[in-house]
Amino acid sequence: MTRIEGDSALIVTREKDRITNVIYNMPTARDFKGVIIGQQVKDLPKIVPRICGICPVAHRIGAVKAIESASEVSIPPVAELLRELALLGEIIRSHTYSVFFSTLPDIMYLTDQISRQDILGIDRTQPRLLPIAIKLYNCAETLITATAGNTNMAFNLIPGGLMQNITITQQQELIQQLHATLSGIKWTKEYYGWLLNEIEGEIQKYTLPQPRYISCFDTHKNRFYGTDQIEFISEDGSQSKFSCAEFSEFLVEQDLPEAPTKIIYAESNKRLNNLLAGPHARLAALQTKSTKSKESLRNIPNLFYSGLLRIDEIEFAITNAIKLLETEWQTGEDVSVALEPQISIGASAVEAPRGTLLYRININDVGRIEDIDIRVPTELNASAITLIVKKVMTACLDLGWSNDQILERAKMAVRCFDPCVSCATHTDIRFRD
């Protein structure tokens, strides 16, 4: 697979006119569990950002929130606000990569806009897009650096709160830089919407049947920082909730026989199901809050709309970051509370760009990590990825397409999920010969 973060491959079995099996294989193992167990608790936030180069802030926040939950401390409101701002920066950065480098080349290719299916192909046809992408990416990195300390380790975010607050000068500069990106993202949204209209017929096969959304998005405060309650939302808008401390009971991991990684399914539905995390799920959570009608959720689970939802979330992140900086942020040095890790268990949930990220840690009597369980969004989405790929390939096969054409469409379907393979291969590993 190309234009995906990390190393993955699709393995498809075709028997005559049937697709009999699809495996989304993530062959690289990264033993973070082995690295983490035995480390001092306070080192956990320094290690986990290395799980993923595109969402290190979400991992850092997952770790510090889990430590804080184990120590039963509440952090000052300004610390939570700056963490949210750092996450908004990460949403902008990650979605910018996904939209401009991964899905736009596909959708422009489908609409015959480009022949070379990448950012260079885009630049030759629509030179407005690359500068917009670069401006967004840079703005996101400035926002993350100001609030989290740096773009890859987020070392300003510590157990107990923050190392330091931002200054008024930084606040003003951030607001200015964020404003300057708005026209570009609005233009991109219109352009993407136009492209989608052009291929309405083609994309129907990318609709996920009866999705079951999972989200911890805080719909009261509108924050990716999340709540401790995880929501399952069905297509008809019905909801069920569980506490993030109990996630191992509700989200069961299953080994993939062909890979050192795992997929996750919901315990109440033991067959491989259509669990979907990420922008679709967050929208479902928001819509369920505003109206419980089935009508409001219509059309969401089409995977080609994911790109549009990501553009929406970029715009939301920019406008919300401006609002938080202008109206809620406060100066002051009271940004953390003291914390000494005790023997205990802690858990956390946060919305990473790709969806719900869950942490659970056991701390032993000498302040070291005894055990850790991390569930990442790409594991949550893994069964839906194989399901949609099979559906798309079967539809293409019925149209009599060649293997190459069919595989191309399958890869597009995978990219719509924006899978984060580096993240997903972090887990309990098994070694093959």
Partner 1 sequence: MTKIGFLQLNSCSGCMFAVLGSAIFPELLKSADIQVFRLISDIQSEDHLDVVFVEGGVTCNEDAELLRRLWTEGTKIIALGSCAVLGGIMSQSPNMHIDPVNKFVDPHSSLPGCPPPRRLLGNLLLSAIDGSEFELPEKNVCWECPFAQDQTYEIEITSLHSTHSPKSCFLREGILCLGPITRAGCEAHCIKGSTPCDGCMGVLNGNLPAAIANLFSVLKVSETIREYAELAFRYQKPELKLKH
Q: Does 50 bind ligand SF4 (CB under 6 A)?
A: yes
Question: Which run of H or E residues covers position 362?
Answer: strand 355-363
Please name the residue ranges forming H helices in 113-217.
119-125, 129-148, 168-179, 182-198, 200-203
Q: How far is the CB of 9 from ligand SF4 (least distance, A)?
A: 20
**Helical axes 305-323 vs 182-198, angle rounded to 10°:** 160
Q: Output 56 or 355, the one with its CB closest to partner 1.
A: 56
Whether the CB-CB separation of 301 and 208 falls below 8 Å is answered with yes
| Cα separations in angstroms, 278 against 124, 228, 303 | 31, 17, 11
DSSP per-residue string spanning 46-69: HHGGGG-SS-HHHHHHHHHHHHHH
Q: How many CA atoms lie within 13 A of 79 on its CB side?
A: 22
Site map (CB under 8 A) of partner 1, residues 52-71, x = contact: xxx-x---------------
Q: How far is the CB of 32 from ligand SF4 (least distance, A)?
A: 11
Q: Tell me the residue type at 49.
A: P
| 258, interface contact from partner 1, ligand SF4, none, CB < 5-8 Å by kind | none
Contact residue for partner 1 among 9, 23, 46, 171 (CB under 8 A): 46
Site map (CB under 6 A) of ligand SF4, residues 174-193, x = contact: --------------------
Q: Which two tokens stand for residue 188?
A: 């991109």
Q: Does 138 bind partner 1 (CB under 8 A)?
A: yes
Query: Whose structure tokens read 């973070």?
Result: 32
Q: Work out the number of other CB atoms within 10 angstroms of the CB of residue 132.
A: 20
DSSP per-residue string spanning 309-335: HHHHHHHHHHHHHHHIIIII----S--
| 292, interface contact from partner 1, ligand SF4, none, CB < 5-8 Å by kind | none
Question: Which run of H or E residues covers position 387?
Answer: helix 377-398
Q: Does 47 bind ligand SF4 (CB under 6 A)?
A: no
Site map (CB under 8 A) of partner 1, residues 157-196, x = contact: -x-x--xx--------------------------------
| 336, interface contact from partner 1, ligand SF4, none, CB < 5-8 Å by kind | partner 1
| 401, interface contact from ligand SF4, partner 1, none, CB < 5-8 Å by kind | none
Site map (CB under 8 A) of partner 1, residues 1-40, x = contact: xxxxxxx--------------------xxxx--xx--xxx
- Which residues contact ligand SF4 by CB under 6 A? 50, 53
- Which residues contact partner 1 by CB under 8 A? 1-7, 28-31, 34-35, 38-40, 42-43, 46-47, 50-54, 56, 97, 101, 116-120, 123, 130, 134, 137-138, 141, 149-153, 155-156, 158, 160, 163-164, 336, 338, 422, 429, 431
